[in-house]
Amino acid sequence: MSAKLSLIGCGPGAADLLTIRASRRIGEADLVLFDRLVEPDVLELASPLAEKRYVGKGCGDGGRQQADINCILKEALRDGRHVVRLKSGDPMVFGRAAEEVAIAVELEAEIEIVPGVTAALAAAAENAITVTERMELQSFVVTTGKSADPNKDPDWSNLVKPGVCVAFYMSVAQAWRIQTALMAKGVPGHIATDWIENSGRPNARRVTSRLDRLALDARKQGVSNPAILFIRYPLSAAAGQLSAQQAEQA
């Protein structure tokens, strides 16, 4: 038997949001590696003969845990197994897929990547939030609250611009930093913000606020991970901002 790595996008949780290809591959695996964000009913698709291994990853020491996962993966591929690595959402969106693919390349294992519904789009669909809108939102951007270097935030104020909807992953702990960075660059405090917590699960919740109350409302409402933050800056909000400034100057 030849070694194979299948990186499978499992979507936001519910098994019926898996692709047909994803559910087939899960059924074919010898070893299934999964983490905290993968729901139990997805695991039920694996053969009773397959080994299922929890490989952790909550918040915090992601570096060490990723090293452990890499190690397990290497060992299994060396043994010629078919490893199915389950990833929440889509493997190519904040999924650390590059490291796991590099291991398979190094070991000359076959690689297959199966796309999944990424959390932002699952959350958007569930809550009827359009991420593009013909007259108001021309661009859709995904970013993260958490970068590899904790002292270097992504350049959020260059992303949140008139006509853009931005989805923030891993951003709950950074609400205050995001709010202040954007307001310092003149993004209007009244634009709407939405947290979507636990999208696709029975405990899904939407917390709507506005930019100038983002951190306060997140704290008051106890927003917690996993959650996506949407900041939509419609063109008309920017036009309104401009005419208010002009009226003030006149």
Residue closer to ligand SAH, measured from CB, 167 or 237: 167
State the number of binding residues for ligand SAH (CB under 6 A): 23
Which parts of 143-182 interact with ligand SAH (CB under 6 A)?
169-170
Is 4 designated active site?
A: no
How far, in Å, CA of 39 to CA of 86, rounded? 10
Q: Which of 16, 41, 52, 57 is catalytic?
A: 57
Task: Choose the stretch contacting ligand SAH; rule: CB under 6 A; options: 49-57, 69-77, 198-206, 212-220.
Answer: 198-206
Whole-Å CA distances, 72 to 81, 100, 247? 11, 11, 63
Q: Which of 35, 153, 212, 217 is catalytic?
A: 35
**Residue 9 three-state SS:** strand
- The C-alpha torsion from 21 through 22 and 24 to 25, rounded to 10°, is 110
Residue 137 binds to ligand SAH (criterion: CB under 6 A): no
Residue closer to ligand SAH, measured from CB, 231 or 237: 231
**Residue 141 three-state SS:** strand
Which parts of 87-106 interact with ligand SAH (CB under 6 A)?
87-90, 93-95
Instruction: Spell out the residues 6+ positions from residue 120 whose beta carbon is closer than 8 angstroms to its own.
Output: 131, 142, 167, 169, 228, 230
Q: Which residue is nearest to ligand SAH (CB)?
A: 89
Is 90 designated active site?
A: no
Task: Choose the stretch contacting ligand SAH; rule: CB under 6 A; options: 74-82, 158-166, 226-234, 239-247.
Answer: 226-234
Of residues 54, 98, 103, the one with CA closest to residue 78:
103
Residue 233 binds to ligand SAH (criterion: CB under 6 A): no
Single-letter amino acid, residue 45: L
Give residue 96's region: left, alpha or beta (phi > 0; psi -120 to 50): left
Interacting residues with ligand SAH (CB under 6 A): 12-13, 37, 87-90, 93-95, 118-119, 123, 169-170, 196, 198-200, 225-228
Catalytically active residues are 35, 57
